[in-house]
């Protein structure tokens, strides 16, 4: 398999209700307080064995995890044959989405400086239209970081 594209679509009557603080899935959080627990549980895991994979289009939390602090480094997940990586914006419009632009910058910074980049040449980050202007400086830092190691960083704005 050379190309893999995955998207996530939830029925709005369930996912949107939960993201707005609905109590359909409650439990104790890490600090012991009651909280709404929702989002993707875990991740798709390592794609290292997909040695012919050239392009991957995937929502951030599906590849990495819903929670930023539980994500594995990209170098541990991506196939060395991967040339193009597109992070989809699926789920990012819900209020409890954890992967903000700064978290993505940290992820890409770590990947770009780790020295284990394989064949990756393009990273595309899909963004929702709202709030884009506040993040332009961060996005420019991502472009510079990637450019310094031979990776083209692009953004795609979606509605």
Q: Report residue 124 as tokens.
A: 């595309």
**Residue 3's pLDDT is what?**
95
Question: What percent of the chain is predicted at pLDDT more than 70?
Answer: 70
Long-range contacts of 60-63 (CB under 8 A, 24+ apart): 60/87, 60/88, 60/92, 60/99, 60/104, 61/91, 61/97, 61/98, 61/99, 62/6, 62/8, 62/90, 63/87
What is the distance between the alpha carbons of residues 13 and 31, in angstroms, rounded to a whole number? 29
What is the distance between the alpha carbons of residues 22 and 96, in angstroms, rounded to a whole number? 12
Which helix (H) or strand (E) covers residue 122, if one does? strand 122-128
Under 8 Å CB-to-CB from 115, ≥6 apart: which residues? none
Sign for the CA dihedral angle at 61, 134, 93, 21 comes to positive
Rounded to the nearest angstrom, the gap between the alpha carbon of residue 30 and the centroid of all alpha carbons in its chain is: 22
On whether the pTM is more than 0.85, the answer is no
Domain ranges, ordered by start, for the chain: 40-158
Candidates 89, 96, 92, 90; CA nearest to 29 is: 96
Task: Write out pLDDT tens, residues 97-156.
Answer: 778 888 888 888 888 888 777 899 999 988 765 555 567 888 888 899 899 889 999 988
**Residue 11's pLDDT is what?**
55
| Residue of 127 and 30 predicted with greater confidence | 127
């Amino acid at each position: 398999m050379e190309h893999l594209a995955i998207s996530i679509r939830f029925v709005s009557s369930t996912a949107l209700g939960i993201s707005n603080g609905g109590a359909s899935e409650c439990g104790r959080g890490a600090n012991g307080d009651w909280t709404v627990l929702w989002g993707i549980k875990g991740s798709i895991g390592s794609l290292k064995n997909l040695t012919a994979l050239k392009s991957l289009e995937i929502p951030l939390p599906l590849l990495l995890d819903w929670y930023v602090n539980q994500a594995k480094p990209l170098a541990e997940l991506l196939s060395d044959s991967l040339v193009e990586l597109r992070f989809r914006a699926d789920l990012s419009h819900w209020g409890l989405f954890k992967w903000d632009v700064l978290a993505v910058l940290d992820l890409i910074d770590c990947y770009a400086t780790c020295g284990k980049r394989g064949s990756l040449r393009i990273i595309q980050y899909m963004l929702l239209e709202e709030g884009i202007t506040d993040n332009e400086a961060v996005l420019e830092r991502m472009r510079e970081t990637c450019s310094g190691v031979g990776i083209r960083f692009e953004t795609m704005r979606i509605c």
